A and B are shown apart, each in its own frame.
Chain A
Amino acid sequence: GAVVSQHPSWVICKSGTSVKIECRSLDFQATTMFWYRQFPKQSLMLMATSNEGSKATYEQGVEKDKFLINHASLTLSTLTVTSAHPEDSSFYICSARREASGQYFGPGTRLTVT
């Protein structure tokens, strides 16, 4: 158990457009999900904490108006990168917290902005 999926697995978009990434916990409910960003050969950088039914909590330096997070149900959180630019190109990974078990990660989404 504890499977987390992400969709899409990769996406290419043009500069100025918006991209939505979905994160789903497939076999458990998650009141809390997290969104990370990872640059090549670097560690995971926490962007925000997504709480079901309430506003996301963003880490310092992360623009909340650029990275819109919605956690509409106990199994789905979405990250929308608005007005994407080449510097937003990165590997975006979500995780979901399973009670008394730990934090489980999705497979990641590779975003390339041209």
Chain B
Amino acid sequence: QQQVKQSPQSLIVQKGGISIINCAYENTAFDYFPWYQQFPGKGPALLIAIRPDVSEKKEGRFTISFNKSAKQFSLHIMDSQPGDSATYFCAAGVDSSYKLIFGSGTRLLVRP
């Protein structure tokens, strides 16, 4: 119930392509869904987050798509760049409790 399943485990994309990472959850009490980007040896950085009252949120090249009925959400990175190469984590939480449950991570490599 508390798990957040993330796929794929790794992803290779050509420069300029679209990177898509998917996450699924079971707990319908979750009402906050952030995505984090982590470079080696660094802490995760908050990229973008969405709440269940909207189906899509876009910030620059990053877009979250949210499907409440399917209990799934995804991160799309448009025009992927080599500098986007990092590990991406989805997470889910109940905002009132502040705790986040993290997915297993996706290692993205964008080839020049």
Contacts and interface: CB of A to CB of B under 8 A. Distances in A.
A104 B44 CA distance: 8
A106 B36 CA distance: 13
B99 A107 contact: no
Contact of A102 (B49, B101, B107): B49
B89 A103 contact: no
B61 interface: no
A101 to B, nearest CB: 9
A30 to B, nearest CB: 10
DSSP class of A's interface residues: helix, strand, loop or mixed? strand
Contacts of B49: 102
A46 B42 CA distance: 17
Contacts of B98: 32, 34, 49, 97, 103
B103 A43 contact: yes
Given A46-B100, A49-B99, A105 B36 contact: yes
A46 B101 CA distance: 8
Contacts of A34: 98-100
Contacts of A103: 34, 46, 98, 100
A17 B104 CA distance: 32
Chain B's interface size range is: 10 to 19
Contacts of B41: 108, 110
B54 interface: no
A42 interface: yes
B73 interface: no
Contacts of A93: 43-44
Given A43-B89, A44-B102, A104-B46, 16 more contacts: A4-B43, A34-B99, A41-B105, A42-B104, A42-B105, A43-B103, A49-B98, A49-B99, A93-B43, A103-B98, A103-B100, A105-B44, A105-B45, A105-B46, A108-B43, A110-B41
Interface of B: 34, 36, 41-46, 49, 89, 98-105, 107
In the A-B complex, the 5 residue pairs with the closest CB atoms: A105-B43, A108-B43, A107-B43, A105-B44, A44-B102
